[in-house]
Amino acid sequence: MTDARYYITTPIYYVNDKPHIGHAYTTLACDAIARFMRLDGRDVYFLTGTDEHGQKVEKSARDAGMEPQPFTDRVSQNFRDLAKAMNFSNDDFIRTTEERHKRSCRAIWQKLVKSGDIYLGTYSGWYAVRDEAFYGEEELTAGPDGKKTAPSGAPVEWVEEPSYFFRLSAWGERLLKFYEDNPLFVLPQSRRNEVTSFVRQGLRDLSVSRTSFRWGVKVPGDEAHIMYVWLDALTNYITAVGYPDESNPKWAYWPADLHMVGKDIVRFHAIYWPAFLMSAGIAPPKRVFAHGWWTNEGQKISKSLGNIIDPLKLIETYGLDQTRYFLLREVPFGNDGDFSHKAMVGRINAELANGIGNLAQRTLSFINKNCGGKLPAPGQFMNDDITMIGQARGLLELMRASIENQELHRAIDAWFDVVVWANQYIDRHAPWALRKTDVKRMGTVLYVLVDVLRHLGALMQPFMPEAGAKLLDQLAVPSDERSFASLGGKGELRGGIPLPAPVGIFPRFIEDAQRKVHPAHAMVGRIYQRRSDGVYLRLEKVLRELPDTDDAILMFRKWPTKEEVRLKHSHLIIDLVESQVELEW
């Protein structure tokens, strides 16, 4: 039996960055999981926040002519705004500059001291003042004058400063044992390999304090030192659930079920963090999952290329739930993925508009027109009906298993399979034909479809909360019966209940170039051209051979009948919304 509690975290985001797709993606994945778990009856605590200490922040504030605190107040707001725009359902938003966090950091520090894993030493290395960063010996190149230079070209000098160290070197064996006992601690598997091989190479002690800047949590008992950023940052995960007050009711959420991270920070979460915690006598988290990165139209994303993807822009262009769906659907979760406009439009039109959207629309508008707007009561179920309903009702279990292992893409895969099967089902039983021959049977088919839609609507809520709600509204599912507990037979809709007139959930994405011709009535479709040799050409082929007419040709309201095309075999008949146009062929 799984614990009812579920504690899930995002990394805290470094406020020096502007929120970009990477931030949005990590939190989105957590949001989908958190929402799923809540709907599935779990007691979820979903945490995100901002990391606000460190030298870079101190410097950025100074450059902006501000004190660090008001500066971080401002930039951390960007991340709260993003959470709102993306419809994230985090239960808490932690900031490392909060007093609760500083208290927590001091407490864990003292525990580490007590366990003997902290000692005072000297941190030394090649430091580039210009970059404000340390470099490893092997990264450096010797300049013409024999002076060493950083990869950035900045001159470096050998610097030594007093520093407290964490005795990480003593934790190698215990960590390896921990990984062995918890084979799913790091996922995906490939990251786990990296982590264990890293640890097997042998660990060096970790510098956990600095004296070169002031913006951070002071080391208890030696205020010349600031706690090293990773110790500070990682500690947020226990701060938020009350640490060091273990009598805080929220402490029951610890250990976290899942730390979701980008693949770049696996090591800190999978090696340092459990070592810190074990040393402090605190249970390590249950899982660290490292997801991949996005490229943009096949290109690596970088500031210098200027191809950073702004999540707010995506929402504006494609819609919120469409964006959420794409990001979670397009890529096996954990892998890198490519964002492309074409792929996005493909998903929106093929799966959202034509798949689930049209399925709902064709079913509900049929009921609206032919059943007086009331859900028909089902008659005797046939085998095929039972199979269809079974597929919908079996979805929860499949999705639950996938979500439990962060296989978000599999969950959506399974969900979309049912969409496809339902479209096959409606065609197989053709209620539009039954209307003339067997109205009772027609009602049963429609009822089955509505029950399937009820499951699809409920189960899409974690990924697309607004669209899911919209669909359930149209099915007249009461707001208190939208959790997974009401799936299956429990929340079964009764025949005869009135269903509101349907409205499209997902519009097709129409390219701007097409939209501007007749914005109000734009439609895209296929048209055939009959060539003199009697061969019918598809629209795309016709377009290729008719230059400069794309926009006009794409706009038509009625599919021309073969008869029409045949009569005017040397012309294309285009029935435009505004006017009748003939084009020379």
202 binds RNA (CB under 7 A): yes
60 binds RNA (CB under 7 A): no
The binder of RNA chosen from 541, 552, 564, 581 (CB under 7 A): 541
Quickly list DSSP for 488-535. Answer: TTTTPPPTT-B-PPP--SSPPP--HHHHTTSTTT-------EE-TTS-
37 binds RNA (CB under 7 A): no
The binder of RNA chosen from 248, 299, 424, 549 (CB under 7 A): 424
Closest to RNA by CB, 538 or 568 = 538
Q: Which of the ranges 105-113, 228-236, 395-403, 545-553 carries the binding residues for RNA, by CB under 7 A? A: 228-236
538 binds RNA (CB under 7 A): yes
Minimum Å gap between C-beta 249 and RNA is: 28
- What element of type H or E holds 404? helix 383-404
62 binds RNA (CB under 7 A): no
569 binds RNA (CB under 7 A): no
Q: Which of the ranges 113-121, 149-157, 251-259, 534-542 carries the binding residues for RNA, by CB under 7 A? A: 534-542
The answer to whether the CB of 266 falls within 8 A of the CB of 194 is: yes
The binder of RNA chosen from 524, 552, 581, 583 (CB under 7 A): 524
549: nearest Cα among 534, 521, 527: 527
Which positions ≥6 away from 24 have C-beta within 8 Å?
A: 82, 86, 311, 327
Touching RNA, residues 463-502 (CB under 7 A) = none
534 binds RNA (CB under 7 A): no
- For 102, the token pair is 């500083």
The answer to whether the CB of 585 falls within 8 A of the CB of 570 is: yes
- β-strand partners of 574: 581
228 binds RNA (CB under 7 A): yes
The binder of RNA chosen from 120, 283, 305, 350 (CB under 7 A): 350
536 binds RNA (CB under 7 A): yes
Q: What Cα–Cα distance (Å) separates residue 41 from each residue in 28, 38, 287, 548?
A: 20, 5, 21, 57
As a three-state string, the secondary structure of 90-138 is: CCEEEECCCHHHHHHHHHHHHHHHHCCCEEEEEEEEEEECCCCEEECHH
The answer to whether the CB of 51 falls within 8 A of the CB of 229 is: yes
354 binds RNA (CB under 7 A): yes
Residues 235-274: x/- map of binding to RNA (CB under 7 A)?
----------------------------xxx-x-------
Nearest 5°: phi and psi at 10?
-100, 165
Amino acid at residue number 280: A
Residues 101-140: x/- map of binding to RNA (CB under 7 A)?
----------------------x---------xx-x----
Q: Is the dihedral of CA 232, 237, 242, 246 positive or negative?
A: negative
Minimum Å gap between C-beta 41 and RNA is: 30
56: nearest Cα among 19, 13, 12, 16: 16
The binder of RNA chosen from 201, 247, 304, 380 (CB under 7 A): 201
The binder of RNA chosen from 9, 97, 207, 529 (CB under 7 A): 207
176 binds RNA (CB under 7 A): no
Axis crossing angle, helix 320-329 with helix 21-39, rounded to the nearest 10: 90
Q: Which of the ranges 9-17, 240-248, 253-261, 307-315 carries the binding residues for RNA, by CB under 7 A? A: 9-17
508 binds RNA (CB under 7 A): yes
Touching RNA, residues 40-59 (CB under 7 A) = 51, 54, 56
Q: Which of the ranges 26-34, 273-281, 386-394, 521-529 carries the binding residues for RNA, by CB under 7 A? A: 521-529
193 binds RNA (CB under 7 A): yes
CA–CA gap between residue 76 and residue 269 (Å, rounded): 22
Q: Give alpha helix (H) positions in 269-336.
A: 273-279, 311-318, 320-329
**Other beta carbons less than 10 A from residue 522's beta carbon:** 16
426 binds RNA (CB under 7 A): yes
Closest to RNA by CB, 340 or 483 = 340
Minimum Å gap between C-beta 397 and RNA is: 20
514 binds RNA (CB under 7 A): no
